[in-house]
Structure 1
Amino acid sequence: MSIVEERYEKWVNHPNLDPRYKEVLAEMTPEEKNDAFYTTIEFGTAGMRGLLGPGTNRINIHTIRKATQGFAEYIKEHGEKACEEGIAIGYDNRHMSRELAFDCADLLAKNGIKAYVFKSLRPTPELSFAVRHLGCFGGIMITASHNPKEYNGYKLYDSKGCQLVPDLAAQVIDRVNAIDDELAIETNITEDQKKLVQVIGKDVDEPYYENVLSIQLNPDVEKDITIVFSPEHGTANVPVREIYKRTGYHDIPVEEQCTPDPDFSQTPTPNPEQPGAYELALKYAADNDADIILVCDPDADRMGVGVKHDGEYVVMTGNQSGAVLLEYILSQLHAQGKMPDNPVMFNTVVTSDLGEKVAADHGVETEKTLTGFKFIGEKVAKYEQTHEKNYVFGYEESYGSLIKPFVRDKDAPQACLMLAEAAAYYKKQGKDLVDVLNDLYAKHGTYEESQVALSLAGEAGAKRIQQILSDLRKDAPKEIAGEPVVKSEDYKEEIIEENGEKKPLTGFVKSDVLKYYLEDGSWIAVRPSGTEPKCKFYYCVKGSDKADAHEKTEKFQQAMAELTGTAE
């Protein structure tokens, strides 16, 4: 019997199997059965994320219990104090999110661990805030972020409100993997154990809102802008609109997308990185002559931006909106005499070079991390202890940013407030946010950033992704579309190669990422997604102007597709 058949038979015949899964298992095709059981769902760059349904390679009540029991063992090993400090638990609008969150709370209580669980859905950044505000040992967030409706996920946080970095995650994973039978874990608890579960809500909301309001740099700016806002059926609806109400900004919600619908029925996609997320908001914007469009993903850690420019709406990339936010924040800190000593900005190895140039122009150092905001959160916590450097901003290319680090994750409510303030400030100067971006290009050079995601699901897809990275390591490109590769970085092998000379790559944990620097100032990076069955290709292309950058981008994308055998 194959491992797939063995796991399948165990599940389908187990007395504790959740009844809702029996019919699904019985109707599985051989291909579906293989994908659901060929492996066990693993922690990636943002915890566990996967398709909902029965199976060891799926998100379901049993795999979440296994992960939570492993986390509980980790907590108990840290002693009675860790159990008393407890775990904060949040969840989004997705199918099973609330059920899974309260089930996690019960399982922790069964292990003698206090659990604080939100009464209703809340943003991921508020969960991060709650961990620190309540003095918890850690946190759990049930969310699949920006993934489609078929997905859900599970993120773990440490006492700093930061997602578990690899060395801590590995300790939890060891304890999870030591559990043989996820189906045997039950969450029936006694009346005394129920006392360990505390429901939270407004007692955390208000301090979180107060902290978000504190980020304003020009609270008295004339708020002569109209904002179209969409939470994409997710958790941003209440906090963002409440913050705008308290600060006096005029927002027009995309009403059809304000209900917490797990099927995302009124949007083609809940992912701000994809054009479909803006379709309805763009109609609202045109009807209301809006200045900006702000779109949040379901767990409200990412925010996408559209801007009215020369009579048309332009959707900015995460690199572009991040650079504009950075310019506004740093320029205002300087103007108001509030720039701290030894300021530092964080972004990732796949974030555009433009932000680094903006930071340098303001005398701010840039430190790069691997993809995953937990690495930025870890650096924030480090410098908070050592006081060597002072945080002023952090962002990723995937629409995630953090203005003030009372949260240790991406925070869309903060970003929505600061973007509104920046738009109002520049409008008073006769500019929109695209004008600000164009000024940055004129000063620092024109960049076009893009991402191509190759989706390869299932066991065969996972092997194909591994093969692409393996082939690139065996036969590294010397040129791409005729442009010489002058330096390469391999974050898995921890090697930099430049001018034929190899040297160690330090300051990063090992990660399956390759990055190629080209002679013209552009770069290309390749990495498997840590949360989806995809291989991602990142392009930061420098051109003499927008047309040149765009033409070069197309050439580089085609060359990489041919090089990796993925051309259509």
Structure 2
Amino acid sequence: MVNEAYERWLNHPNLDPSYKEVLEHMTEKEKNDAFYTTIEFGTAGMRGLLGPGTNRINLHTIRKANEGFAAYIEAQGEEAKQRGVAIGYDNRHMSPEFAMDSARVLAKHGIRSYVFESLRPTPELSFAVRYFHCFGGIMVTASHNPKEYNGYKLYDEKGCQLVPALAQQVIDRVNAVKDELAITADVSAEEEKLITVIGKEVDEEYYKNVLSIQLNPDVDKDLIKIIFTPEHGTANIPVKEVYTRAGYHFVAVEEQCTPDPDFSNTPTPNPEEPGSYELALEYAKREDADIILVCDPDADRMGVGVKHEGEYKLLTGNQSGSVLIEYILSQLSEKGQMPPHPVMFNTVVTSDLGEKIANKYGVECEKTLTGFKFIGEKVAKYEVSGEKNYVFGYEESYGSLIKPFVRDKDAPQACLMLAEAACYYKAQGKTLVDVLYALYEELGYYEESQTSLKLEGQEGAMRIKQILSDLRASDVTEIAGEAVVRFEDYKECIIKEKDAVRELTGFTKSDVLKYYLADGSWIAIRPSGTEPKCKFYYCVKGTSLADAHEKTLAYQKAMAEMTK
């Protein structure tokens, strides 16, 4: 089957010439990995390695996705086609080509599109969908993945990534396309007119909306200095522009401000990894900066470093999220601006600390599955019903949304609000770490961490499935000597607690397991939706930070043993 697919590509008259030589020089292992399956178009779209093959991101697999998306839009009628699709892209290899190729495939179906003139953040693509009242959106990005990757994400008319029910309708149509090589992007002059290039008009409206989130716009901005890096990605212009207009003092890591698809001046573009802070830390020490802000390439995630007691401490996504929640909710409360029936959203793998902070201010917390589309779906639901009012949403993976004029994680918003919080607290003689430690003392000592097994290729995918299957079949009663008091299985939709089994409701089925322990900690396991990894999430509660850390190491060791 692999050889058959390989030969079909190698000898197909429509094969893009740039792929021919790569195919001819493939080893048997490379050939197998590139053709053993078809790259999955899942509920999060597609993400994978660049290159020729059915299991790769390339012009032909992107065209197949667009052919399916076009069929989905056509099924909604002529109005959907005329409302069209907004298309954005990041700095990665082939991103501009994939974006324009997408517009042309849609044009062949009579579907209008609005394509950004150059790279833009994912949140601005979400904003553009809403700004132009489009029927949907496409973002070409692999987010924080290494340079060898690219991807393709779809958005609905609300600017939210497609939720599973809608995504399945697209998936069915994508899967119905039998020959991705037969699809071309050749358009007539008339079809070309359906493609509109967009830019500054949308930028300006987006910036205005981002600036509108400020709670204390007159805070003394002379108090702090910021080191900012876009990691070669799309945050470069938007964050600089917003900071300049708001009056913040920042120094950009210039070596990482070029839109370099090879990410030449950073060990990794992922704010979850310490390597992404290396150069920024050098700048911070030289400039004696107060905070470091690192955005991933498509500017939906933000990492934070804080100078505290002479050293720079890197915050996790859970920690920076907790600080933002404390600042935003305290200010809304103090100013009498807290809306009625306020609600905050996070996910089933996000720390318990954020929920405790929210509850302290009378804010309800609703949990969703991992994936900001589920938070966007909730925002849309309450926007219509008026039953609850959004005040914040975030994930442990360094992404948050302050105001929902965007329906995805928005790093420019987060950068602006965190800078404001840093100024506000410094005026009181406190760092953001001081704020975090005060929350620990008040609400409990938590250490959140994540480990992962990287398992690539066909064998890796099978191994990840086996790990979840084995855990699901095991009756785990204790982990590192601590009793399991509750078990949740989001695929089988069951809760096991006190020898009783009941239904788990309110979530789409997902391959996630979660163990609650007697000491107030929990551990969750899930396959990554975007990388060849099995992820383990730990939210560990201790009597002190040292105790929480010691427990974390014990739990990580126990899970490693259980999943050998």
Q: Does TM, scored on the shorter chain, surpass 0.5?
A: yes
2:136 is matched with 138
Q: Residues of 1 paired with 2:254 and 2:402: CA distance?
A: 28
1:278 is matched with 277
Residue 448 of structure 1 aligns to a residue in which SS? strand
1:335 is matched with 334
1:441 is matched with 440
Q: Aligned-pair distance for 1:26?
A: 1.0
Q: Partner amino acid for 1:477?
A: V
Q: Residues of 1 paired with 2:7 and 2:166: CA distance?
A: 33
Residue 501 of structure 2 aligns to a residue in which SS? strand
Computed over aligned residues only, the root mean square deviation of the Cα atoms, in angstroms, reads: 0.6
The answer to whether structure 1 residue 455 and structure 2 residue 454 are counterparts is: yes
Q: Aligned-pair distance for 1:453?
A: 1.2
Q: Aligned-pair distance for 1:360?
A: 0.4
Q: Residues of 2 paired with 1:271 and 1:423: CA distance?
A: 23
The runs of at least 4 aligned residues of structure 1 exceeding 4 Å deviation read: none
2:78 is matched with 80
Instruction: Answer whether contact 2:126 2:137 (CA < 8 A) is retained.
Output: yes
1:213 is matched with 211
Q: Partner amino acid for 1:456?
A: L
Q: Partner amino acid for 1:9?
A: E
Instruction: Answer whether contact 1:45 1:372 (CA < 8 A) is retained.
Output: no
Equivalent residues in 2 for 1:149-548, closer than 5 Å: 149-223=147-221, 224-548=223-547
Q: Aligned-pair distance for 1:43?
A: 3.0
Question: Which sits farther off after the overlay, 365-374 or 28-37?
Answer: 28-37
Q: Aligned-pair distance for 1:286?
A: 0.3
Deviations 1:283-320 (A, max 9, x none): 00000000000000000000000000000000000000
2:102 is matched with 104
Q: Aligned-pair distance for 1:465?
A: 0.3
Q: Residues of 2 paired with 1:213 and 1:231: CA distance?
A: 19
Q: Residues of 1 paired with 2:388 and 2:7: CA distance?
A: 56
Q: Residues of 2 paired with 1:546 and 1:324: CA distance?
A: 17
Q: Residues of 1 paired with 2:501 and 2:98: CA distance?
A: 48
Gap regions ≥5 residues in structure 1: none
Q: Aligned-pair distance for 1:460?
A: 0.2
Deviations 1:51-71 (A, max 9, x none): 000011100000000000100
Instruction: Answer whether contact 2:43 2:168 (CA < 8 A) is retained.
Output: no
Q: Partner amino acid for 2:367?
A: K
Q: Residues of 2 paired with 1:128 and 1:476: CA distance?
A: 43
Deviations 1:146-167 (A, max 9, x none): 0000000000000000000111
Q: Partner amino acid for 1:368?
A: K
Instruction: Answer whether contact 1:86 1:136 (CA < 8 A) is retained.
Output: yes
Deviations 1:447-493 (A, max 9, x none): 00000011000000000000000000111311000000000100000
Q: Residues of 2 paired with 1:27 and 1:547: CA distance?
A: 53
2:3 is matched with 5
How many residues of Structure 1 are paired with residues of Structure 2 in the alignment?
A: 563
2:561 is matched with 562
Instruction: Answer whether contact 1:45 1:531 (CA < 8 A) is retained.
Output: no
Identity %: 75
Q: Residues of 2 paired with 1:269 and 1:165: CA distance?
A: 29
Q: Partner amino acid for 1:35?
A: D
2:552 is matched with 553
Q: Residues of 2 paired with 1:289 and 1:121: CA distance?
A: 32
Instruction: Answer whether contact 1:228 1:290 (CA < 8 A) is retained.
Output: yes
Q: Partner amino acid for 1:383?
A: Y
Q: Aligned-pair distance for 1:84?
A: 0.3
Q: Partner amino acid for 1:344?
A: V
Q: Residues of 2 paired with 1:316 and 1:501: CA distance?
A: 39
Deviations 1:61-120 (A, max 9, x none): 000000001000000010000000000000000000000000001111111000100000
Residue 125 of structure 1 aligns to a residue in which SS? helix
Instruction: Answer whether contact 2:516 2:523 (CA < 8 A) is retained.
Output: yes
2:117 is matched with 119
Instruction: Answer whether contact 1:345 1:394 (CA < 8 A) is retained.
Output: yes
Q: Aligned-pair distance for 1:44?
A: 3.9
Instruction: Answer whether contact 1:448 1:541 (CA < 8 A) is retained.
Output: yes
Instruction: Answer whether contact 2:42 2:171 (CA < 8 A) is retained.
Output: no
Instruction: Answer whether contact 2:43 2:167 (CA < 8 A) is retained.
Output: no
Residue 106 of structure 2 aligns to a residue in which SS? helix
TM-score using structure 2 length: 0.99
Q: Aligned-pair distance for 1:270?
A: 0.1
Q: Residues of 2 paired with 1:307 and 1:286: CA distance?
A: 11
Q: Aligned-pair distance for 1:45?
A: 5.3
Instruction: Answer whether contact 1:373 1:410 (CA < 8 A) is retained.
Output: yes
TM-score using structure 1 length: 0.99
